[in-house]
Chain A
Amino acid sequence: MTNPGIRDDDVLKAAEQWRREGRGVAIATVVQTWGSAPRPVGSHLVIDDKQNFLGSVSGGCIEGEVIVNAGEVIESGKPRLLEFGVADETAWRAGLSCGGNIRIYVQRVD
């Protein structure tokens, strides 16, 4: 709601609409943050099976990794808890350079 432009409620509406259109859909949600995380807990990124996405879970730095994981969650139906942080080599590569750590829960819309 503090984000000008797309609001989180629009993102969840899109998730519902996309699923009703028959697309495979995953919702990624920020569930925990430490330090200076770019987006607060409860922020959503919605991804479809063609890698279209709406919303954000970071300033744009880890969305790529989340989208790849979302594709796998859409396939398997098994939710995942992802963690990104500066201490983590992979995460640094993914670019969470703001100094924060975040956990993101990725679930399929069934």
Chain B
Amino acid sequence: MRLDLLADLNAERAARRGAVVVTDLADGSQRMLRENEAASDALLKSLNVRLRGSKSGVHEHGGKKFFVELHRPPLRIVVTGAVHVSQAMAPMAKLLGYDIVIIDPRDAFATPARFPDVQLIVGWPDNALPSLALDPWTAFAAITHDPKIDNPALKLALDAGCFYVGALGSKKTHARRVEALKQMGVSEAKIASIHAPIGLDIGALSPPEIALAILAEITLYLRKGEEASA
């Protein structure tokens, strides 16, 4: 691999953008495609390889063998609510390979003692979220139960195209939330993409079980996003 290509690849990764490296296994020649280039690349199209949803692997085309290596940015989960459920989510998310960030303006909740070794932001989502630069490689869960905190965060997460957006609360709570988001100018299609009630229905009762249900649902949309939505 040429050093300049490796450096370009590392720069894309550091900026949390996806990239694809295509290697001709016969002669070692290589190309690096940035996220937007990968979407329109003729070879990737004919191989039906997409940055999301496909896996890295060897493909044959025109009598040649290519190794197509997909680089996806490290995945993140951003949560509003330094509550019981997110206390359980933090270590579980780490085991699953996610970076997790927890935001809560209530400093009685958001304490390092309750959240050891977790990136914790004591502040309002309007202030905290822009600096985090939510993106399509981020899942977002709103679990404070407080619309003043959750709703502005939900709007930002939907605008950023997070691959999963979920919100805790009963159907009744969610109906009120839907109205509030409409008032805030969020489109109906975006509102409809919110997962509420949050989490897979595994009969979760305890906070760790609810954390498990949320993380299972995030996993489902990460791995089978388009199929899961169908």
Which residues on A are within 8 Å of B, measured CB to CB?
A: 1-4, 7, 9, 12-13, 15-16, 19-20, 27, 29, 31-32, 41-42, 78-79, 81, 103, 105, 107-110
Q: How far is the CA of A6 from the CA of B91 in the complex (A)?
A: 17
Q: Are A1 and B6 in contact (CB under 8 A)?
A: no
Q: Are A2 and B13 in contact (CB under 8 A)?
A: no
Q: Are A105 and B2 in contact (CB under 8 A)?
A: no
Q: Are A107 and B1 in contact (CB under 8 A)?
A: yes
Contact-residue size bin, chain B (C-beta under 8 Å from the other chain): 20 to 34
Q: Are B97 and A3 in contact (CB under 8 A)?
A: yes
Tell me whether chain A's interface is mostly helix, strand or loop, or mixed. mixed
B73 CB to nearest A CB, Å: 8
A49 CB to nearest B CB, Å: 15
Segment 1-53 of B: residues with Cβ below 8 Å from A: 1-3, 6-7, 9-10, 13-14, 23, 25, 28
Question: Cβ of B189 < 8 Å from any Cβ of A?
Answer: no
Q: Are B58 and A32 in contact (CB under 8 A)?
A: yes
Instruction: Note all chain B residues with C-beta closer than 8 A to A109.
Output: 1-3, 6
Q: Are B13 and A12 in contact (CB under 8 A)?
A: yes
Question: Cβ of B95 < 8 Å from any Cβ of A?
Answer: yes
A28 CB to nearest B CB, Å: 11
Instruction: Note all chain A residues with C-beta closer than 8 A to B6.
Output: 12, 15-16, 19, 109
Contacts A9-B10, A41-B56, A110-B2; is A29 near B69 (CB within 8 Å)? yes
Question: Cβ of B192 < 8 Å from any Cβ of A?
Answer: no
Instruction: Note all chain A residues with C-beta closer than 8 A to B13.
Output: 9, 12
The residue in chain A whose Cβ has the minimal distance to the Cβ of B28 is: A79
Q: How far is the CA of A63 from the CA of B23 in the complex (A)?
A: 22
Which residues on B are within 8 Å of A, measured CB to CB?
A: 1-3, 6-7, 9-10, 13-14, 23, 25, 28, 55-58, 67, 69-70, 72, 74-75, 94-97
Q: How far is the CA of A2 from the CA of B95 in the complex (A)?
A: 7
Tell me whether chain B's interface is mostly helix, strand or loop, or mixed. mixed
Q: How far is the CA of A105 from the CA of B23 in the complex (A)?
A: 10
B131 CB to nearest A CB, Å: 21
Contacts A13-B10, A16-B6, A27-B1; is A107 near B69 (CB within 8 Å)? no
Q: Are A42 and B70 in contact (CB under 8 A)?
A: yes
Q: How far is the CA of A78 from the CA of B29 in the complex (A)?
A: 11
Beyond contacts A29-B67, A81-B25: 11 other A-B pairs, Cβ-Cβ < 8 A, are: A2-B97, A4-B94, A7-B74, A16-B10, A20-B3, A31-B56, A41-B55, A41-B57, A78-B28, A109-B1, A109-B6
* 12 intermolecular pairs with C-beta atoms under 8 Å apart: A1-B75, A4-B97, A12-B10, A16-B3, A19-B3, A19-B6, A29-B69, A31-B57, A41-B56, A42-B56, A105-B23, A105-B25
The residue in chain B whose Cβ has the minimal distance to the Cβ of A12 is: B10
Q: How far is the CA of A3 from the CA of B97 in the complex (A)?
A: 7
A51 CB to nearest B CB, Å: 19
Q: How far is the CA of A7 from the CA of B75 in the complex (A)?
A: 12
Q: How far is the CA of A27 from the CA of B3 in the complex (A)?
A: 11
Q: How far is the CA of A4 from the CA of B96 in the complex (A)?
A: 9
Q: Are A31 and B67 in contact (CB under 8 A)?
A: yes
The residue in chain B whose Cβ has the minimal distance to the Cβ of A78 is: B28
Instruction: Note all chain A residues with C-beta closer than 8 A to B10.
Output: 9, 12-13, 16
